[in-house]
């Protein structure tokens, strides 16, 4: 997971992350955080193709605590092949099981692929800044 995300960071333009990840930071930020709802990985026999994290909104965030915060990372060159859509099916079920009412995705404006991906899933814009657009997905 760290290698996949570090390649995305090195390429630039699609993530707010700027500092490379090591195993400890990956565990702390995406797997063992006290706000973790789920973190799933898509892989084939040889490599991680993508991963998606869902956390309950931290009370320090400017979001209601019954919202989730999603992050999706797909290996460079694998975007548009269904990896993210497959991940979201599992993440959505985890969000519903956790009793969340909405999921936030905050995406850099320069990340046109990420904006399109979340739009295809049904996320709609609800806020923006000079750098980001926040989209929400309402759970039933």
Q: What is the pLDDT of residue 45?
A: 87
pLDDT of 88 reads: 98
pTM: 0.93
What is the reported pLDDT for 64? 95
- CB 101 within 8 Å of CB 66: yes
Query: What CATH number should be reported for the domain holding residue 31?
Result: 3.40.630.30
CB count, 10 Å around CB of 45? 4
Q: Average pLDDT across each block of 10 residues of the chain; the chain has 140 residues. List them in order.
A: 96 87 95 96 94 95 94 94 96 98 95 94 96 93
Per-residue confidence (pLDDT) for residue 13, from 0 to 100:
78
Residue 10 structural domain: 2-138
**What span, in angstroms and rounded, lies between the C-alpha atoms of 48 and 41?**
7
Tokens of 95: 């969000």
pLDDT of 10 reads: 95
Report the domain count for the chain. Answer: 1
């Amino acid at each position: 997971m760290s290698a996949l995300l570090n390649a995305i960071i090195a390429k630039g333009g699609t993530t707010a992350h700027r500092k490379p990840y090591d195993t400890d930071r990956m565990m702390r930020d995406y797997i063992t955080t006290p706000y973790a709802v789920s973190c799933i990985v898509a892989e084939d026999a040889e490599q991680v193709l993508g991963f998606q994290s869902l956390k309950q909104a931290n009370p320090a965030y400017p979001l209601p605590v019954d919202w989730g915060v999603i992050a999706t990372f797909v290996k460079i060159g694998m975007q548009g092949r269904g990896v993210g859509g497959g991940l979201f099916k599992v993440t959505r079920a985890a969000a519903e099981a956790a009793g969340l009412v909405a999921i936030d995705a905050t995406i850099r404006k320069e990340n046109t692929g990420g904006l399109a991906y979340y739009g295809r899933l049904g996320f709609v814009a609800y806020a923006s800044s000079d750098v980001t657009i926040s989209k929400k997905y309402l759970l039933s």
